[in-house]
Structure formats: structure tokens, C-alpha cells
């Protein structure tokens, strides 16, 4: 067990830590059990990445533990000579997800590794697709999946678009374990990272590319060559200004090509459960001709507090209470159970 009281005092007094973090920890001086729980160990980097309760401390998810893990990942990427390939970073709707994503990007940039950061939350399958589409060596998705609202996490994907597997998982674990001090963590200002060309932002044009590929996976479209998309072919390196001029991403053209017969007769109830799925799922269904899609209004907006459910897990029957209530208003209704665009898993 680490000398947690000594480490606790360091976090309380070292100016490396921001004032809010130090203030939060100093408020725990009369709670020795909480101090011990926050500092008796370092948050464990498991086979898939990090996951833990949000808060200040070595055993919590915060910008500092994210930096430590990212430095270990950066060290491994450098050993693989993958810095020029870069890393894609996405995040979900959970609390602190945008901040953790940016911290991870800047730590990688400080190590000379290019990053592609989605401008806002995106579904996990789009991150997997982006890793392969952009030819990156790795991807990071800041998410805690279906854990309680107090949690957040950090999952690592390799160049095949899947979560890390042997030998990469073991090797990354070993590198992360070697980062024992914040003095080993490299950081850079975002402005400097942007000027150097290492910090890049992925915009909505990439969503068009992703959804076009999802449509291609439809059973109805199997074997069809589809339109020739310059984005999909990879003839142009990705940039924030890149757009498709071939017409394949034009919404009206897409509907005309991909519409499923009788789709407009099907009624669908959909709940994103406050996650990242609402916009891409509705766009995808619309492009396939599904016009009668009813979204649970109370759960359509991204919200890391998940205010309408006690546990944001689609395997929990309670999570579907509002969706089933809405479905009961319609006959022959399909209640589509998913928190993110799982329809896109065929691309994974």
C-alpha cells in the first residue's frame, strides 16, 4: 500500500494541481476513510483502459490520472514508431468527458504524436471507424459505458479499430506502470499544439462519411457498390475543411438510393438514454426512409447525470420505462433498445 497520507498532502499543497482540486481535497481532512480510499493506490489501468469514480486523488478519474495513463500510452506508441500515424479521440456525454479528451490529446501532442479530436460527443463505433479510416495507430474513447453516473473511463483501441488485445494490452499496461511521477508527464499548450499541426479537430463532414459506410452494411445493400465517395476512398487526407463533392453524402440523394421498401409504414420508438446516439441514429433512420421515429423526449439530450434513470444500463429493465410508455401509444411499434448507435457495429 502506498503512503497515502504523504501523497494526499502533496496533492493538497503542490501548485501543479489546480486550485479546485486542492480545495476539494482539503475539505476531506475530517474524513480519513475517504482520504484513504482516494489515495491508497493508483487508479488501475486494466486490459481495456481506465475506469473509476470521478474526483480528486490517485484512485479517481481526473485530468491528472488521465495524463499519467496517456503518457504511458504515448511511450508505447513512440516505441512502435507510430507517432506520425496519430491517435483519434472521441468522448461520450459523461461528466468531464470533453476535458479528459482534450487532456489526452495535448499529452500525446507534447510527445510529438498527432491527434484527431472529435469536435463534440460521438458514438463509440464512429471512433472505431475513424481509427481505420484515418490510418491511425490507436484510438481513445472517453466513456464508462453503462457504469453508474459517478464514473467515467478511458478505453484504448488499436489500429484495427478494436479494443487493445495481446500483446499490445500487456505492453501498454507495462508502459503505464512505469509512469510513477507527474514529472514524467509531458504537456503542451493547445495553441502551440495547433500551430505545430499536431492537434486536429474532426468535424461533421466525417459523420457523413461514417453514416454512408453504415448504410453500406445494410442487408439490403450487401453486394451493391454504391456511390464512389472521395472521402471513403481516402484520396484526400483528412482535414477540417475536407468535404465530399461526389454527391454520395447528399442527404436527398442518399434517401433515394438507400430507402427501404415500406420503411415509412414502420413506427419506431427510440431512446438514446442521454447518450451520444440521438443525432446519428435519427439521421441514419431518416436516410433509410423511416419517417415515423418517436424519440423519448425526456431522454433525447446528452446528460452525464442521467437524470431519468437510476442506472444507465440497457440491460436494466428500469432504463426502458419511458420508452415502453411511449411505445404503448402506438400499435405494431418497434422499441429499439440501445444507448448509442449499435446499428453501426457491423462496421466494427
Residues labelled catalytic? 145
Q: Distance between CA 114 and CA 126 in Å, rounded?
A: 19
Neighbours of 2 (CB within 10 A): 12
Q: Are 247 and 253 in contact (CB under 8 A)?
A: yes
Q: Distance between CA 149 and CA 203 in Å, rounded?
A: 27
Residue 260 is classified by DSSP as P
Residue 158 is classified by DSSP as E
Q: Are 247 and 227 in contact (CB under 8 A)?
A: yes
Could you tell me where the DSSP H helices lie in the chain? 4-13, 19-26, 32-39, 63-79, 97-110, 124-133, 168-178, 190-196, 204-216, 230-233, 251-258, 278-287, 321-327
| 263: nearest Cα among 215, 324, 229 | 215
| 280: nearest Cα among 207, 217, 221 | 207
Query: If you search the block for the grid coordinates 461526389, which residue do you land on?
Result: 246
**Residue 61 neighbours by CB under 8 Å, 6+ apart:** 43, 50, 51, 52, 53, 54, 55, 96, 100, 151, 152, 153, 154
Q: Distance between CA 282 and CA 52 in Å, rounded?
A: 31
Using a 10 angstrom Cβ sphere, with 0-12 exposed, 13-18 middle and 19 or more buried, the burial of residue 336 is: middle
Q: Distance between CA 124 and CA 119 in Å, rounded?
A: 14
Amino acid at each position: 500500500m502506498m503512503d497515502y497520507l504523504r501523497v494526499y498532502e502533496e496533492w493538497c499543497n503542490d501548485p501543479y494541481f489546480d486550485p479546485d482540486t486542492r480545495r476539494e481535497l482539503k475539505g476531506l481532512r475530517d474524513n480519513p476513510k475517504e482520504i484513504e480510499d482516494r489515495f491508497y493506490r493508483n487508479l488501475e489501468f486494466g486490459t481495456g483502459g481506465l475506469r473509476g469514480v470521478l474526483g480528486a486523488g490517485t484512485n479517481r478519474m481526473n485530468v491528472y490520472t488521465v495524463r499519467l495513463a496517456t503518457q504511458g500510452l504515448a511511450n508505447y506508441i513512440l516505441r512502435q514508431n507510430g507517432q506520425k500515424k496519430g491517435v483519434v479521440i472521441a468522448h461520450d456525454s459523461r461528466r468531464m468527458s470533453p476535458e479528459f479528451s482534450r487532456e489526452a490529446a495535448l499529452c500525446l501532442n507534447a510527445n510529438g504524436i498527432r491527434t484527431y479530436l472529435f469536435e463534440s460527443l460521438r458514438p463509440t463505433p464512429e471512433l472505431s471507424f475513424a481509427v481505420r479510416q484515418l490510418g491511425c495507430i490507436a484510438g481513445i474513447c472517453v466513456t464508462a459505458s453503462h457504469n453508474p453516473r459517478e464514473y467515467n473511463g478511458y478505453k484504448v483501441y488499436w489500429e484495427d479499430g478494436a479494443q487493445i488485445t495481446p500483446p499490445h494490452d500487456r505492453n501498454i499496461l507495462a508502459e503505464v506502470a512505469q509512469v510513477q511521477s507527474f514529472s514524467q508527464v509531458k504537456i503542451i499548450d493547445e495553441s502551440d499544439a495547433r500551430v505545430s499541426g499536431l492537434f486536429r479537430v474532426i468535424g461533421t463532414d466525417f459523420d457523413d462519411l461514417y453514416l454512408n459506410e453504415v448504410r453500406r452494411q445494410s442487408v439490403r445493400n450487401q453486394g451493391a457498390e454504391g456511390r464512389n465517395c472521395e472521402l471513403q476512398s481516402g484520396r484526400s487526407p483528412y482535414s477540417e475543411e475536407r468535404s465530399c463533392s461526389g454527391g454520395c453524402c447528399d442527404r436527398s440523394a442518399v434517401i433515394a438510393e438507400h430507402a427501404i421498401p415500406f420503411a415509412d409504414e414502420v413506427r419506431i420508438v427510440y431512446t438514446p438514454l442521454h447518450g451520444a446516439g440521438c443525432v446519428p441514429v435519427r439521421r441514419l433512420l431518416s436516410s433509410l426512409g423511416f419517417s415515423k421515429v418517436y424519440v423519448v423526449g425526456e431522454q433525447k439530450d446528452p446528460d452525464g447525470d442521467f437524470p431519468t434513470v437510476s442506472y444507465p444500463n440497457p440491460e436494466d429493465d428500469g432504463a426502458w420505462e419511458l420508452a415502453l410508455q411511449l411505445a404503448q401509444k402506438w400499435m405494431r411499434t418497434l422499441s429499439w433498445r440501445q444507448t448509442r448507435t449499435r446499428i453501426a457495429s457491423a462496421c466494427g
